[in-house]
Structure 1
């Protein structure tokens, strides 16, 4: 367990975080000692000591009679979050790394994917054999900038089923959903821009945004979508350039965007000149279709993205962007500049698997298995006093409140030492107000040892 920070260290960590996320710009003046003391609730001597230590480290400098200022040189980027009493258990990258570590003895109800045996293994094997027997250029040459034409055509047909009108020329294949988001962030943002995320949201959104040195503002998420009143206040106060959210099944809450909230969000975005990234990675887990912002918007201000790592394979990476027409060429330039040719082999295998006659049956089976797993997991958690924020219609996630006086961060640390990886709430929360929440993956929660370890670790 990481040692608790002193008050001086807490102030230093907070200042460094604000500099790293460009909340404090190079050359800008820090709050006065008295103002900072009032803000933190600490004594002026504590603030002065923190500022002096930061000055020694070269993070800030003083101007006699004028105060303290952020150093002009930009420090090397660190993606590790810092903050008050931070434990790395709530760091998005830490959670991802623990989930990705290979171990046969570790249980992972905190991870964000299906067990390997649930995936479309036979379809992927058939796809690999089909591609191996086909055109040799697919396994030997770079892909075209847009990517494999038949897959892009298939994706537009799938989008049409969701009401999204896109042409194959508007679809850019990427190496993953994460790369799709990264390309759009590179295209739209400069350091210091403001981006809105749901609070809570998928933790890697926040990690990616940190890498782009932008300011991130969280808007509370409700069972019907982002809180409209808070969304308006954020747009008016912070003038953000971009909003990132999930379509269909929200991560981590499992909530579904309502039609009325979707219309409100789009009207507000259009009035404010706000762009939107709509991540639909869980589209095929959906049982009842939810509204898509990209469909209502007509791909005007919305960038629609997806991938297939959750349903087909996390090993063969393939994602896509459906973009407004006028931005496709610029995205292609960025794609070539940062990755040159795409993964044509992965795209061809994904195409074969998606058009396999067994894929629809496979997903129907997944829907049934997830519903069964959800029904089995809920009472096991209830016995421990862990209750869902809502019971989702579909998907693998339960966003749950812990019994009173339990810290999700502490619980995750204690369970990790017993070989159980959890996903504590504040890893998903920009405001760090989800310390009493935990995300559980019902597909990874069948083992009885998980509940034994939880029972021992809970207060």
Structure 2
């Protein structure tokens, strides 16, 4: 293929990508051929030929005297096309799919969950047997709009132990923590609104926010929480509608929010329209509980969410939202509109598992195993020149810095060819400023082959 043919294809693919990401919806007038040529650094004749070929494919259409326009119905939403172009190895959707699709032969130190053998299997089996004996309605009927009352009462008591005051009617059950965030985004956001996230943060936040067509602005994360000065500047400059964070064990860094930072964040949020979404999915991994924004705020502007997919079962899809009663009432309407009543079965099984006498002891054992796994993983990584950003005090994640000059995406590509799935830093970074980092899941890093593979692929 000649250089000119290649340049024509580049222009065509750029236009197709913008149509797929809905940056160019139907009816959009494309830049003039001269403007497009200048923007892409190609000749006018190259753009003319690219536009003519796209018109021949009926992707765009020419209007004499006016220019070229996008034609046809709106393109099916392609999340991977939204945002800056990334190598597939540093795309959050790619990492999720690799981890979820990986067979038993692949090692997954980059995934975000415990090995199946670490989960509450015995308690789940008891809960399944107990639920199988429940009334027929539990096995077959829709749930009430807010979800199983007994589980909401239990969750309210658990939250009270963390100094979060929430009545059962301030809690709504969801299909998962992710669905909880999705409903909150649907409730508060319009396309083009701004959402603040930590940098780095859980990579699926990025993917979910893409689907809502909002502007994402990141705030650097420190060992004690978000950078307060950067947070204040972002509030002033962007007037964000939401801020989504973990204030317990932070994903991916393993850090925890300090009380001082928590108070300063809430003070900065006063007199703004900011709503804070606090994802507390890792609460049961904590040894010493970190402060909760929802406790300081009294569920005024903070929405507290969680689930038990990381501790009991990822197959059991059940999460929750705790918020102001008027917000919960309207979120329940939105839940009905998008998933109708939801099911009772998962919440009944979860209730049985949480009230089982073995859950507390099981989690004590998991916390001990995780502490041992973190220590071993840090030692093994240090031997090959990979160092932790901080030493986490709880949880499964270790955010690690690679030797200077090594790109995590290159390491991830090389390791994948040898059957090891990694999570490179820029997957978690809106600013794309974490190319020298990897997130390790200590519980999934017990196989020595992980470190042997890393040692082979790292440059000498």
TM-score (norm 1): 0.89
How far did residue 10 of structure 1 move?
9.6
Measured in 2, the distance between the counterparts of 1:131 and 1:95 equals 35
Measured against aligned partners, the alpha-carbon deviations of 1:404-433 in whole angstroms (never above 9, x if no partner) come to 221111111111111100001111111111
Contact 1:10-1:83 within 8 A present in 2 as well: no
How far did residue 306 of structure 1 move?
0.2
Measured in 2, the distance between the counterparts of 1:48 and 1:313 equals 58
Q: Report the equivalent of 2:80.
A: 80
* Alignment length (residue pairs): 451
Measured in 1, the distance between the counterparts of 2:34 and 2:222 equals 38
* DSSP 3-state at the match of 2:217: strand
Measured in 2, the distance between the counterparts of 1:216 and 1:241 equals 11
- Is 239-248 or 74-83 further displaced after alignment? 74-83
RMSD: 3.2
* DSSP 3-state at the match of 2:262: helix
Q: 1:68 to 1:282 in 2, by over 3 A?
A: farther
Measured in 1, the distance between the counterparts of 2:423 and 2:44 equals 33
Measured in 2, the distance between the counterparts of 1:260 and 1:71 equals 54
Contact 2:373-2:446 within 8 A present in 1 as well: yes
Q: Report the equivalent of 1:191.
A: 191
How far did residue 305 of structure 1 move?
0.3
Measured against aligned partners, the alpha-carbon deviations of 1:179-233 in whole angstroms (never above 9, x if no partner) come to 1111111111111111111111101111111111111111111111111111111
Q: 1:201 to 1:56 in 2, by over 3 A?
A: farther
Measured in 1, the distance between the counterparts of 2:401 and 2:46 equals 38
Q: Report the equivalent of 1:438.
A: 438
Q: Report the equivalent of 1:393.
A: 393
Q: 1:63 to 1:243 in 2, by over 3 A?
A: farther
Contact 2:118-2:366 within 8 A present in 1 as well: yes
Contact 2:20-2:77 within 8 A present in 1 as well: no
Contact 2:12-2:51 within 8 A present in 1 as well: no
Q: 1:132 to 1:43 in 2, by over 3 A?
A: closer
Q: Report the equivalent of 1:423.
A: 423
Measured in 1, the distance between the counterparts of 2:270 and 2:32 equals 34
Q: 1:456 to 1:197 in 2, by over 3 A?
A: same
- Is 403-412 or 165-174 further displaced after alignment? 403-412
| 2:256 maps to 1:256 | yes
Measured against aligned partners, the alpha-carbon deviations of 1:285-306 in whole angstroms (never above 9, x if no partner) come to 0111111111111111111100
Q: Report the equivalent of 1:235.
A: 235
TM-score (norm 2): 0.89
Q: 1:35 to 1:432 in 2, by over 3 A?
A: farther
Contact 2:17-2:81 within 8 A present in 1 as well: no
| 2:407 maps to 1:407 | yes
* DSSP 3-state at the match of 2:306: strand
Q: Report the equivalent of 1:115.
A: 115
Q: 1:254 to 1:57 in 2, by over 3 A?
A: farther
* DSSP 3-state at the match of 2:278: strand
How far did residue 108 of structure 1 move?
0.3
How far did residue 60 of structure 1 move?
8.9
Measured against aligned partners, the alpha-carbon deviations of 1:223-248 in whole angstroms (never above 9, x if no partner) come to 11111111111111111111111120
Contact 1:21-1:215 within 8 A present in 2 as well: no
Measured in 2, the distance between the counterparts of 1:331 and 1:215 equals 22
Question: Which structure has the larger Rg?
Answer: 2
Q: 1:353 to 1:48 in 2, by over 3 A?
A: farther
Which blocks of at least 5 consecutive residues in structure 2 are unaligned? Answer: 1-5
Measured against aligned partners, the alpha-carbon deviations of 1:340-372 in whole angstroms (never above 9, x if no partner) come to 122211101111111111111111101100000
Q: How does 1:12-27 map to 2 (within 5 A)?
A: 16=17, 20=21
How far did residue 136 of structure 1 move?
2.0
Measured in 2, the distance between the counterparts of 1:7 and 1:285 equals 54
| 2:216 maps to 1:216 | yes
Measured in 2, the distance between the counterparts of 1:188 and 1:50 equals 41
- Is 403-412 or 157-166 further displaced after alignment? 403-412
Contact 2:33-2:44 within 8 A present in 1 as well: no
| 2:172 maps to 1:172 | yes
* DSSP 3-state at the match of 1:420: coil
Q: 1:235 to 1:6 in 2, by over 3 A?
A: farther
Contact 1:107-1:420 within 8 A present in 2 as well: yes
Q: Report the equivalent of 1:294.
A: 294
| 2:360 maps to 1:360 | yes
